[in-house]
Structure 1
Amino acid sequence: MVGEVVRRVTGRSIDRFLAEEIEAPLGLDLWIGLPQSERHRSAGSSPPRSTSARWPGSTWTPCPSPRAR
């Protein structure tokens, strides 16, 4: 959705907009969908250890809907 808003406002794709307006001025490497060739530069990720998060085996339970009361 954001990509479409950027395209309609600027006339550029989200990739081109980020490259021209954010990456180049700040000297950054940004990716939307990391290419396989760049994965060695990426840090791994894992779910938080908190038991209150929405991960398998956690104790998190959703709040009941106000309509269900």
Structure 2
Amino acid sequence: MNRRQKSTKLVAKRAKAKLNKVKSGNTTVHHSKSKYISKADRAKLEAEMAATEAQNEPTAPSEESAAE
């Protein structure tokens, strides 16, 4: 076998190996990983969540109306 045949067969073997790779059923695993969130960004998100929760909470009846 000469060099050209050897290199051609090697290239073909690599190409076939690329095509025959087994794909897992769950390909979204790599994409579901979230990016890094810094401490400052986490603090901002928590503050925003707390603010929205405070707005969504029903207001408690005041003591004056409860006394009557």
Give the TM-score normalised by the residue count of structure 2.
0.23
Give the TM-score normalised by the residue count of structure 1.
0.23
Structure showing greater Rg: 2
Q: Relative contact order (alpha carbons < 8 A, sep ≥ 6): 1 or 2 greater?
A: 1
